Amino acid sequence: GQQVMQIPQYQHVQEGEDFTTYCNSSTTLSNIQWYKQRPGGHPVFLIQLVKSGEVKKQKRLTFQFGEAKKNSSLHITATQTTDVGTYFCAGLYSGGGADGLTFGKGTHLIIQP
């Protein structure tokens, strides 16, 4: 089946440092969504990217969708302790299909004060 590879699996940063997580697909995506899951919580939707080369910002978070619509990234500037959690990307393959969204395995962000 289709796979979305997400790296790194874990990222330790000092508070105030930047953080980036990457998602890659071998085939073209129709769109990509990003979710955040706090420890012990449930995934919460952050954003959806649809257009080739799209860049969206939410305060300190910057989301990008590649020109070929096969990769995406989430960058957090100057991390804060509230950013702790796991960040998932979820891709929708062109034509949709029965499986719908395919989730990456997530990047765990650990922040050291």
Partner 1 sequence: NAGVTQTPKFQVLKTGQSMTLQCAQDMNHEYMSWYRQDPGMGLRLIHYSVGAGITDQGEVPNGYNVSRSTTEDFPLRLLSAAPSQTSVYFCASSYSGQGYNEQFFGPGTRLTVL
Q: For binding to partner 1 (CB under 8 A), which residues are involved?
A: 1, 6, 9, 30-31, 33, 35, 41-45, 48, 88, 90, 92, 96, 98-101, 103-106
Kindly state the smallest distance separating residue 15's Cβ from partner 1, in Å.
26
Rounded to a whole number of angstroms, the distance between the first and last alpha carbons of the chain is 40
Q: What is the DSSP letter of 111?
A: E
**Which residue number, 37 or 77, has a Cβ lying nearer to partner 1?**
37
Encode 19-74 in three state secondary structure: EEEEEEECCCEEEEEEEEECCCCCCEEEEEECCCCCEEEECCEEEEECCCCCEEEE
Q: How near is the Cβ of 14 to partner 1 at its closest, in Å? A: 25
Closest contact distance (angstroms) between CB of 30 and partner 1 is: 7
* 60/105 with CB nearer partner 1: 105
